[in-house]
């Protein structure tokens, strides 16, 4: 799998959400005060958004990487893989459905996520999975399980000579 940019404006040809609504569960939406890992009250799980025409800007501009990249086959559709990948700057964030917390370890996903880490690292980008507050950072040769991130914590990430280092730090110390 190749390195992924995050400046796509619309889905790749032939890609649609269809009946997939997993982003409406795992991604938080500040404008709606909807936390991550809770179904949005405006989501019809089988059909999509009940307020589609008036949905918040955050929702209007959100596209998962399955939709944006032709490199992701149907197996990566979030409703099937239980993984919602999206770009955040140079980073790739993987929100894992809390109903399938081990989905990120399944093949071919685990190997592909390590490959993404190998490609994104030189760009200054981190590939991380989020399962609730738990954070896993991918490396070309494995992963680092940082455990639960507190509200006052963030991740210090570095990639040097093919080696990934990641640690939890207090936000106040990140500056």
* Residue of 63, 83, 73 whose CA lies nearest to 6: 63
For 1-57, write each residue's pLDDT tens digit.
333 444 446 899 999 999 999 999 999 999 999 999 999 999 999 889 999 999 999
pLDDT value for 4: 43
Rg (CA), the chain: 16
pLDDT band at 169 (very low <50, low <70, confident <90, very high): very high
Residue bearing tokens 């500056």: 175
136 Cβ contact partners less than 8 Å away, ≥ 6 residues apart:
104, 128, 129, 130, 143, 144, 145, 146
| Cα angle for residues 151, 7, 15 (degrees, 5° grid) | 100
18 Rama class: left (phi>0) / alpha (psi -120 to 50) / beta: left
Q: Strand, coil or helix: what is 169?
A: strand
121-156 pLDDT, tens digit per residue, is 767 789 999 999 999 999 999 999 999 999 999 998
Q: What is the pLDDT of residue 124?
A: 75
Q: Report d(CA 79, CA 149) in Å as an integer.
A: 26
pLDDT of residue 134: 96
Tell whether the model's pLDDT for residue 64 goes beyond 60. yes
Which residues are registered as beta bridge partners of 139?
A: 142
Q: Sketch the domain layout of the chain as residue ranges.
A: 19-62, 63-173
């Amino acid at each position: 799998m190749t390195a992924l940019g995050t400046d796509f404006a619309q889905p790749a040809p032939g890609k649609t959400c269809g009946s997939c609504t997993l982003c409406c569960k795992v991604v938080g939406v500040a404008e709606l005060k909807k936390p991550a890992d809770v179904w949005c009250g405006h989501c019809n799980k089988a059909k999509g958004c009940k307020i589609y025409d008036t949905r918040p800007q955050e929702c209007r501009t959100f596209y998962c990487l399955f939709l944006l990249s032709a490199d992701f086959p149907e197996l990566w559709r979030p409703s099937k893989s239980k993984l919602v990948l999206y770009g955040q700057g140079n980073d790739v964030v993987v929100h894992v459905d809390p109903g399938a917390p081990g989905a990120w370890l399944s093949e071919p996903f685990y190997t592909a996520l390590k490959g993404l880490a190998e490609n994104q690292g030189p760009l200054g980008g981190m590939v991380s999975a989020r399962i609730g507050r738990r954070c896993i950072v991918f490396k070309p040769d494995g992963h680092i399980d940082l455990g639960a991130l507190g509200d006052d914590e963030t991740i210090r990430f570095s990639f040097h000579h093919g080696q990934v280092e990641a640690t939890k730090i207090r936000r106040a110390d990140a500056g």
